């Protein structure tokens, strides 16, 4: 069965907002006539980072991800695919900027066939993508890190002894 | 990672903006402004107040404008490296801070190095020799260090130096070198004068750090992996250095976030008592006289060092301790 996934504008609006606010805050002094030196130079560096972040968010919005029994494909500007049997690495990480450890986001990284795909948890049906990826990782007998295993567990995906996730 | 960095930096920028606005408003909260205090001072001395001069000063420093406009004009200058003009000194803030900033940096950096150099071996010794005579002795000294206020220690040392050695230990350089260019002799004089303030100000920090390192290391030493490693015959020194000590180092690194701002603003009372030409007394003066541009710039810089320090300590902790990750397990 083929399933399609993507990042909806609603899910990306916070990222766009951050990129917009960050870029404008950092770029404003230069636009308002400040010389590119000292603190303004550091702010320009931060503005470049936010511009990159905004560009990446834009790419995400246009990304189309397709899953089937044989492969996972991603199309942003060009079509790239990782056949499941060529999956060589999988990691599921959790990031947070909060000291309490809450309000974070997950990132799934898949490697194989010369490509690296990164998906974040605001992708539609993220759990489904993780489930299929973990299933492929089990079939390929990949060794997963303890953090990845615990994050898979946190998504309520159970990996039984047989290695087939439920 | 890009997402993480973007979020952290945005949070830092917004935090600094909020802090800068709060600082500016809080400095303005007491009734009146610098000029009001200035007029009251002149009147109390029986001097005539020239209304034209006051009006000129108000216009010159923008005190006749609304607070929000004053703030915008100040913060606009700050990002360009122009921290405004000190009303009290009638000089640019950067010039007022000038040499005291360098002295502050040298003094407080020396204190941090002193704390780390002294606390580290003592903390490790106390933990590895728990309840020995050495541990009891060092713990006793540590508690005295924690319980004695720095300014009291400074007063006692100054009294003793005056009574028994007939010398003054105030200041950071010999009075003959004040306002002189930097020479080898001036550096020697600085190093000579650094010892007492470093010991006075560093004592409580050292004692606190020893207690934390001892407690953390003891926690680690009682864990099962240490027992297992010992049972398997790992040499004691290697066992200590490779695992528990590494874990116990976390408070040292986590403290960077708190220590960085102290490099600028630490030990105000001691600096006043010992007549140290550091930033502490300048901040105090600026706050009491409502010299908002000077005080605001200092406090903003301290906030900047706090958020940057926290960011650095988070990154260093992630490198040092494999259990702490920017990317980790969802709880």
Greater model confidence, B184 or A46: A46
Q: What is the mean pLDDT of chain A?
A: 87
Percent of chain A with pLDDT over 90: 42
Residue A133 pLDDT > 90, yes or no?
yes
Are residues B10 and A22, on separate chains, in Cβ contact within 8 Å?
yes
**B125, B165: one domain:** yes
Q: Which residue of B has its CA nearest to A43?
A: B79
Over the stretch A48-59, which tens digit does the pLDDT of each residue have? 999 999 999 999
Q: How many CA atoms lie within 13 A of B72 on its CB side?
A: 7
Over the stretch A12-27, which tens digit does the pLDDT of each residue have? 999 999 999 999 988 8
List % helix, strand, coil for chain B (3-state, nearest 5).
75, 0, 25
How far is the alpha carbon of B229 from chain A, nearest alpha carbon, in Å? 22
**B237, B116: one domain:** yes
B331 domain residue, yes or no: no
pLDDT for position B174? 76
**B26, B160: one domain:** no
Residue among A22, A39, A95 whose CB faces B9 most closely? A22
Q: Which two tokens stand for residue B56?
A: 């000129």
**B36, B115: one domain:** no
The CATH class for the domain spanning A64-154 reads: mainly beta
Over the stretch B199-247, which tens digit does the pLDDT of each residue have? 888 887 888 888 888 888 898 888 898 899 989 998 888 888 888 888 7
**B85, B123: one domain:** no
**B55, B37: one domain:** yes
Asked if residues B251 and B213 have their Cβ atoms less than 8 Å apart, the reply is yes
With beta carbons under 8 A apart, name residues in chain B contacting A93.
325, 327-328
The count of domains in chain B is 2
Are residues A46 and B3, on separate chains, in Cβ contact within 8 Å?
no
Q: Cα(B54)–Cα(B39) distance, rounded to whole angstroms?
A: 8
What is the 3-state secondary structure of chain A? CCEEECCCHHHHHHHHHHHHHHHHHHHHHHHCCCCCCCHHHHHHHHHHHHHHHHHHHHHHHHCEEEECCCEEEEECCCEEEEEHHHEEEEEEEEECCCCCCCCCEEEEEEEECCEEEEEECCCCCHHHHHHHHHHHHHHCCCCCCHHHHHHHHHCCCCCCCCCCCC
Of B30, B65, B92, the residue that ends a domain is: B92
Of B53, B75, B92, the residue that ends a domain is: B92
With beta carbons under 8 A apart, name residues in chain B contacting A52.
2
Q: Between the CA of residue B145 and those of A87, B149, B250, what are the distances in Å?
A: 59, 8, 22
**B147, B245: one domain:** yes
For residue B198, which of B276, B281, B264 has the smallest C-alpha distance?
Answer: B276
The residue ranges of chain B whose pLDDT is under 50 are none
B108 domain residue, yes or no: yes
B327 domain residue, yes or no: no
pLDDT for position B83? 81
**B234, B102: one domain:** yes
With beta carbons under 8 A apart, name residues in chain B contacting A29.
76, 79-80
List the domain boundaries for chain A: 8-62, 64-154
Are residues A94 and B80, on separate chains, in Cβ contact within 8 Å?
no
With beta carbons under 8 A apart, name residues in chain A contacting B11.
97
**B45, B13: one domain:** yes
Residues facing A64 on adjacent strands: A75
The domain that holds B205 is classified in CATH as 1.10.3720.10
**B78, B155: one domain:** no
Write out the E strands in chain B: 85-86, 91-92, 327-328
Residues facing A79 on adjacent strands: A75
Of B43, B59, B92, the residue that ends a domain is: B92
B310 domain residue, yes or no: yes
B330 domain residue, yes or no: no
| Residue B76 belongs to domain spanning | 2-92
Residue A115 pLDDT > 60, yes or no?
yes
Residue A47 pLDDT > 80, yes or no?
yes
pLDDT for position A87? 92
Interface test mutation site (partner A, options B5, B79, B308, B310, max chain A beta carbons within 10 A) = B79
Taking the CA atoms of B88, B91, B97 and B100 in sequence, report the sign of the dihedral they define.
negative
pLDDT for position A165? 58
Q: Which two tokens stand for residue B323?
A: 């259990």
Full-model pTM:
0.71
How far is the alpha carbon of A84 from chain B, nearest alpha carbon, in Å? 25
DSSP letter for B170, please: -
**B159, B306: one domain:** yes
Residue A94 — φ and ψ, nearest 5°? -120, 125
Residue among A22, A40, A49 whose CB faces B80 most closely? A40
pLDDT for position B264? 65
B325 domain residue, yes or no: no
Residue among B6, B76, B328 whose CB faces A50 most closely? B6
**B64, B141: one domain:** no
Q: Which residue of B has its CA nearest to A119?
A: B3
The maximal CA–CA distance of chain A, rounded, in angstroms, is 65
């Amino acid at each position: 069965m083929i399933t399609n996934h993507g990042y909806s504008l609603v899910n990306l609006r916070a990222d766009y907002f951050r990129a917009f606010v960050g870029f404008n805050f950092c770029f404003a002094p230069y636009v308002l006539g400040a010389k590119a030196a000292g603190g303004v130079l550091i702010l320009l560096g931060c503005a470049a980072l936010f511009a990159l972040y905004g560009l990446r968010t834009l790419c995400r919005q246009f990304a189309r991800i397709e899953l089937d029994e044989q492969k996972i494909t991603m199309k942003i500007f060009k079509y790239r695919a990782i056949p499941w049997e060529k999956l060589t690495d999988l990691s599921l990480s959790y990031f947070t900027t909060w000291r309490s450890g809450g309000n974070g986001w997950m990132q799934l990284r898949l490697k194989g066939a010369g490509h690296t795909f990164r998906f974040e948890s605001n992708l539609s049906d993220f759990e489904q993508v993780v489930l299929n990826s973990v299933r492929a990782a089990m079939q390929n007998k990949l060794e997963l890190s303890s953090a990845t295993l615990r994050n898979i567990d946190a998504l309520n995906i159970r990996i039984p002894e047989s290695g087939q996730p439920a | 990672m890009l997402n993480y960095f973007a979020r952290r930096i945005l949070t830092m920028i917004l935090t600094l903006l909020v802090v800068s606005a709060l600082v500016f408003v809080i400095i303005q909260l007491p009734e009146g402004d610098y000029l009001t205090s200035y007029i009251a001072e002149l009147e109390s001395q029986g001097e005539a107040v020239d209304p034209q001069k006051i009006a000129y000063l108000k216009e010159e420093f923008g005190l006749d404008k609304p607070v929000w406009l004053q703030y915008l004009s100040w913060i606009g200058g700050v990002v360009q490296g122009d921290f405004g003009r000190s009303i009290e000194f009638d000089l640019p803030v950067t010039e007022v801070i000038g040499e005291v900033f360098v002295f502050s940096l040298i003094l407080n950096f020396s204190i941090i190095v002193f704390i780390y150099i002294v606390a580290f071996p003592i903390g490790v010794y106390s933990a590895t020799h728990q309840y020995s005579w050495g541990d009891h002795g060092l713990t006793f000294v540590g508690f005295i260090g924690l319980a004695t206020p720095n300014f009291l220690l400074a007063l006692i040392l100054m009294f003793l130096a005056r009574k028994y050695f007939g010398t003054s230990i105030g200041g950071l350089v010999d009075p003959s070198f004040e306002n002189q260019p930097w020479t080898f002799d001036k550096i020697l004089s600085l190093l000579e004068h650094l010892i007492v303030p470093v010991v006075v100000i560093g004592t409580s920090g050292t004692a606190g750090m020893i207690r934390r390192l001892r407690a953390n290391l003891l926690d680690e030493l009682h864990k099962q992996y240490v027992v297992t490693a010992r049972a398997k015959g790992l040499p004691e020194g290697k066992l200590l250095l490779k695992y528990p000590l590494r874990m116990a180092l976390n408070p040292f690194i986590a403290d960077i976030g708190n220590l960085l701002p102290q490099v600028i603003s630490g030990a105000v009372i001691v600096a006043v008592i010992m007549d140290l030409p550091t930033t502490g007394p300048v901040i105090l003066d600026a706050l009491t006289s409502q010299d908002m541009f000077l005080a605001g710039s200092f406090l903003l810089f301290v906030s900047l060092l706090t958020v940057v320090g926290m960011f650095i300590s988070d990154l260093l902790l992630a490198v040092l301790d494999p259990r702490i990750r920017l990317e980790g397990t969802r709880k």
